[in-house]
Amino acid sequence: MKHNAIVAAAVAAALGAPAAHALSSYDLIAIGSLTSSSAGSYADLSGLTGTLENGLPANLLGGIGSAFAYAGGSTYLALPDRGPNATAYNPLLDDTVSYISRFQTVNMTLTAAASGGLPYTLTPVLTRTTLLSSPTPLTYGTGSGLGVGSGAPAQNSASAYYFTGRSDNFDASLPSTNPANGRLDPEGIRVSNDGKSVFVSDEYGPYVYQFDRATGQRIRTFDLPANLAATNLSPVGNTEIAGNTVGRVANKGMEGLAITPDGTTLVGIMQAPLEQDATNKGKDVRLVTIDIATGTTHEYAYKLTTGSGVSEIVALNDHEFLVDERDGKGLGDSSAAAVKQLFKVDITGATDVTGIASLSAAGATFTRVAKSASPVLDVVAALGAHGIAPTDVPAKIEGLAFGQDITDNGELFHTLWVANDNDFVAAVAGPNNFYVFAIKASDLPTFAAQNISAVPVPGAVWLMGSALAGLVNARRRRA
């Protein structure tokens, strides 16, 4: 990432282009929206035709801020969750449909603004949609008694069985972590250092899967601790919650996923306390580290501060991370956003709590993950400083990624990208936005960038050059 910033700075200096203004750490520098593709308005590039059970198009573009990952150069991956279930049609399925799980490849052109407004402009362009599948058969719901047909996608073939968001695609005789279940509610995504794989975490299992980035086919399942799994399953979340005393809470599984800069360790975090940890109003959520080479896991306790849950985690280095706590308030909830806060945490010295049955039980003793006393970034306040009212701050701030570095006024900045999940209802929750914040490199002395190889993916458009060209455009002082 530093290479891009250095090249941009060198060319700008040669052109004698002045900086727009001096940035401070955690300044908001750009906002971009993705509302269309070459396939049309709110259409992705999956090539899917026809409609879902609720009548919405199978190629609907939305929800893509559920998870967000840097993929090198000006390329980013945006991950929708289980699909457009905010559109009511069948409560027996929690309104879920056979929306095929997918990730979107997006080129982000970040360009110095000529004048006025924010100092940079951001232009997102969707370049590819990749559907997620298994090479072996998956379990799908029959639809019996639910008023719908089979949950098996029509696109299935002998070599590809697609994951979907439909909530009845599971085997009720096995725990929720059964990897043969066809249901997937993706909430976290990261890219391997060689650029060839993506890792995805989910809420239904929870699962952590590795997919081939080019084909979207699953190539590995990581075995997570058994204490995360629910044993009594239902297509209705509230019924599932009522039927379990152990494991993840329905629709609040492994919401966030990080990868250490050296590419050796995945770090997943649960959105809410497990059933067994929530007794006595416990506020500890479990953070799980996964050694990619061996599959070895460890669990640590993270205590919620002000948010009702955790939505994302992103790595600063191999032991420090930023964690996104939020409430459910804001645009899309007909309310005012209050808590969208990022805390800096350090797992060094924390107790491995894998063997502790309940973190809230009397006598449970452990050292929690250390965290900053106050947020390092309050997104509501930061957006408010630029005239964005709390009622216009998206309710679901869920995606975090460190992206390309920039040089502004002769100083190196890291960029932190924040994305929202709009639940596929842009008319209610607004578009999928990407908010870019600049952080002085000197203010993050322990930060280490992930070094991702740029591996061309068939069918993708690699536009690294255009982003670099945008960065080196002659800059003008703002009026």
Q: Which domains does the chain have, with CATH numbers?
A: 2-471 (2.120.10)
- pLDDT by 10s per residue, the chain, length 479: 433 443 333 333 322 333 445 788 999 999 999 999 999 999 999 999 999 999 999 999 999 999 999 999 999 999 999 999 999 999 999 999 999 999 999 999 999 998 789 999 999 999 999 999 999 999 999 999 999 999 999 999 999 999 999 999 999 999 999 999 999 999 999 999 999 999 999 999 999 999 999 999 999 999 999 999 999 999 999 999 888 999 999 889 999 999 999 999 999 999 999 999 987 678 999 999 999 999 999 999 999 998 889 999 999 999 999 999 999 999 999 999 999 999 999 999 999 999 999 999 988 999 999 999 999 999 999 999 999 999 999 999 999 999 999 999 899 999 999 999 999 999 999 999 999 999 999 999 999 999 998 776 655 443 333 333 333 332 322 33
- pTM score above 0.95: no
| Cα dist from 353 to 293, 346, 349, 365, whole Å | 22, 15, 12, 9
Distance CA 96, CA 166 (A): 5
d(CA 260, CA 271): 20
Q: Residue 461 to residues 25, 105, 126: CA-CA distances in angstroms? A: 33, 9, 9
Q: Can you read off the two tokens belonging to residue 48?
A: 């899917």
Render 102-149 in DSSP notation, one character per residue: EEEEEEEEEEE-SSSSSSEEEEEEEEEEEE-EESS--B----TTTTS-
Find out whether 202 and 255 touch, Cβ atoms under 8 Å.
no
Q: Which residue has the tokens 């990624």?
A: 401
Q: How far apart are CA 420 and CA 81, in angstroms?
A: 11
- Give the C-alpha separation, 59 to 50, whole Å: 8
Q: For 375-473, where are the alpha helices, taking DSSP H only? A: 379-384, 426-429, 464-471
Distance CA(378)–CA(339), nearest Å, equals 8
Contact between 237 and 94 (Cβ < 8 Å)? yes
CA–CA dist 162, 98 (Å, integer): 10
Closest listed residue to residue 291, CA positions, set 260, 268, 265: 265
